[in-house]
Amino acid sequence: MVFSSLTFLFAYMTITLALYFVSPLKWRNFVLLMVSLFFYGWGEPVYITIMFVSIMIDYTHGLLVEKYRANDKLARYFVGQSVVFNLLLLGFFKYWDFFADNLLLLGITLPENLTLFGNTIALRNIPLPIGISFFTFQTMSYTIDVYRKDAPAQRNIVNFGAFVTMFPQLIAGPIVKYKTVARELDHRVNTTEEFAAGVQRFCVGFAKKVLLANSIGALWDAQLAAGQAGSLTVVGGWMGLLAYGFQIYFDFSGYSDMAIGLGHMLGFTFEENFNYPYCASSVTDFWRRWHMSMTSWFREYLYIPLGGNRGGTAKALRNILIVWFCTGFWHGASWNFILWGLYFAAWLILEKYVMKNVLAKTPAVLKHLYTLIVVFVGWGLFAMENLGVCGRYLAACFGNAPLWSAVDGYTIRSYAITFLALIVASTALGKWVWEKLPERVQQIAVPVLVVISLLIGTAYLVDGSYNPFLYFRF
């Protein structure tokens, strides 16, 4: 069940909020746990067992780490064990096929089945449990935070279960680090002000996802198909990359906004996940603004433990490569994602060691342009898993195709207003104008905008489910 579905919006969310707020305060974590398990089980009835196992193991390890804190070696051992468990979970469900396919190319065959206690389990083509990349990272942060004394261990398994399964961020982030919500798990206050703030944030995200991301997504699909049919032009290729970049940004940041909004409604404060990434003035700056909960996770739990940039240039280079290899690979079990990660590692290293002085002297406009080109070409790598398809597409963008066709003119006319809206929404312009408005105007505008986003968004969702049966086909 995705947030941008009629069932989520009008049935699940409505009933969940009602149940949550009729419950007494001390029951609310329990209610949250139950509705979140229901949410998870809705899409993955079988995988709900993974949730239970994951909760049990990480809960126990948190307590063990705290109990043996005096014996640092033992405490570290338990942290390690919990990290290994989570990585094995992720490795098996997300990466087994990738490893097996690639080892096969080297002539090594991994077993196709596993027999345990007389039951045979197929190991290949297992469907990916939704959100596994997110919740394994969150639970890893838990034991590490407890070890580092950034947060106390959670003694109440219901509270801990509510943290692991919390439905707003369960399937697409932001990656909530335990320490950032530890206090709110135990003591939080629900105020009308916070709920109303959550409503506004949710509606912003809902409009981003349904009105902006979905509508520009169709343009990317068309250009990708043109690329495969060999009718792509240079202009069409760049429009496609632009469309994909906007789609992924508004899809993902819309989802984060909805999660943050839902968090506020329930009384939680999640960290921000995006900060106008397409306004970045360098690639380094872009990664301070894009998917911030993930980059800060990798920084805190991988880059710094590896030694960060201390210990000389060679070590720093090694650490950057490791972190960006992992970042790429985390996004998907496919070579193009690894390539995408390393592509950014290369630009980050260049910016840090080679281009630093040049960039400092470059006019701001050019810096922004350079950043956007690097990032959007990167999206090409990200979007096309098949490296052959990807290569041909990017070659077309860089001149191996006719410059332009009549269809491009049609596309530009059809999407001109959409692009304009996307560009404005990617910058702080809207916020700047908003803050200049008199309070009186804001007060009238908010409810109007909330209603418009809900109404138009619902219209797009219903239309998406509309499926007329044409009588000339059967």
Partner 1 sequence: MTKAYSRFLTAMFCLFLGGVLVWHIVLPDRDRSDVENRTLEQWPEFSWEALKDGSFTAGVEAYFADQFPLRDQWTVVKARAEQLIGKTEFNDIYLCDDPLYGSGTLISKVPEPDLDLVDKNLSYVDRLQDKTSATVHLGLIPSAAEVWKDLLPAGAPSWDQQAFLEQAADLGLPMVDFHTALTEHAEEYIFYRTDHHWTTRGAYYGYTALMEALGRGDEVRDISSYGVETVTDDFNGTLYSTSGIHWLEPDYMQFWVGEDGLSITSWRSGKAEPAELYDRSYLEAKDKYSSFLGGNQPLCVIENAAGEGKVLLVRDSYSDALAPFLAQDFAEVHLMDLRYYRGGVAAYAEEHGIENIVVLQSIPNFITDRNLVFLAQ
Q: Which residues bind partner 1 (CB under 8 A)?
A: 1, 5-7, 9-11, 13-15, 17-18, 42-43, 45-46, 191-193, 195-197, 199-200, 203, 225, 229, 405-411, 413-418, 421, 443, 446-447, 450-451, 454-456, 458-463, 465-474
Token pair for residue 224? 């990708």
Query: Which CB, 27 or 460, lies closer to partner 1?
Result: 460
The CB density around residue 412, as the number of other CB atoms within 10 Å, is 14
User: Closest approach of Cβ 418 to partner 1, in Å?
Assistant: 6
Query: Under 8 Å CB-to-CB from 103, ≥6 apart: which residues?
Result: 109, 110
User: Closest approach of Cβ 54 to partner 1, in Å?
Assistant: 20
For residue 120, give the H/E element and its range. Answer: strand 119-122
Query: Which CB, 115 or 192, lies closer to partner 1?
Result: 192
Q: What CA–CA distance (Å, rounded) separates 356 from 375?
A: 18
Q: What is the dihedral of CA 240, 242, 248, 250, to 10 degrees?
A: -130
Residue bearing tokens 């805190």: 300
User: Closest approach of Cβ 232 to partner 1, in Å?
Assistant: 13
State the amino acid at position 94 in one-letter form.
K
Query: Under 8 Å CB-to-CB from 310, ≥6 apart: which residues?
Result: 316
Q: How far is CA 152 from the centre of its chain?
A: 27
Catalytic residue among 61, 187, 291, 331: 331
Query: Which CB, 156 or 443, lies closer to partner 1?
Result: 443
| Bridge partners for 116 per DSSP | 119
User: Is residue 273 exposed (0-12), middle (13-18) or buried (19+ Cβ within 10 Å)?
Assistant: buried
User: Closest approach of Cβ 122 to partner 1, in Å?
Assistant: 15
Is residue 122 helix, strand or coil?
strand
User: Closest approach of Cβ 28 to partner 1, in Å?
Assistant: 17
For residue 115, give the H/E element and its range. Answer: strand 113-116
Query: Which CB, 305 or 447, lies closer to partner 1?
Result: 447
The CB density around residue 106, as the number of other CB atoms within 10 Å, is 7
User: Closest approach of Cβ 106 to partner 1, in Å?
Assistant: 35
Query: Which CB, 177 or 201, lies closer to partner 1?
Result: 201
CA angle 56, 58, 59 (to 5 degrees): 65
Query: Which CB, 254 or 261, lies closer to partner 1?
Result: 261
Q: What is the dihedral of CA 39, 45, 50, 53, to 10 degrees?
A: 90
The CB density around residue 274, as the number of other CB atoms within 10 Å, is 18
User: Closest approach of Cβ 12 to partner 1, in Å?
Assistant: 10
- Does residue 173 contact residue 294 with C-beta atoms inside 8 Å? yes
Query: Which CB, 427 or 443, lies closer to partner 1?
Result: 443
Q: Please confirm, yes or no, whether 291 is among the known catalytic residues.
A: no
Token pair for residue 147? 């070890």
Beta strands in 187-330 (DSSP E): none
- Does residue 375 contact residue 286 with C-beta atoms inside 8 Å? yes
HSE at residue 232, side-chain half, CA atoms within 13 A, is: 30
Token pair for residue 303? 């880059």
User: Closest approach of Cβ 262 to partner 1, in Å?
Assistant: 12
DSSP letter (8 states) at residue 434: H
User: Closest approach of Cβ 437 to partner 1, in Å?
Assistant: 15
Pairing of strands 119-122, 113-116: antiparallel
Q: What CA–CA distance (Å, rounded) separates 189 from 153?
A: 21
Q: How far is CA 154 from the centre of its chain?
A: 26
Q: Which residue numbers are catalytic?
A: 331
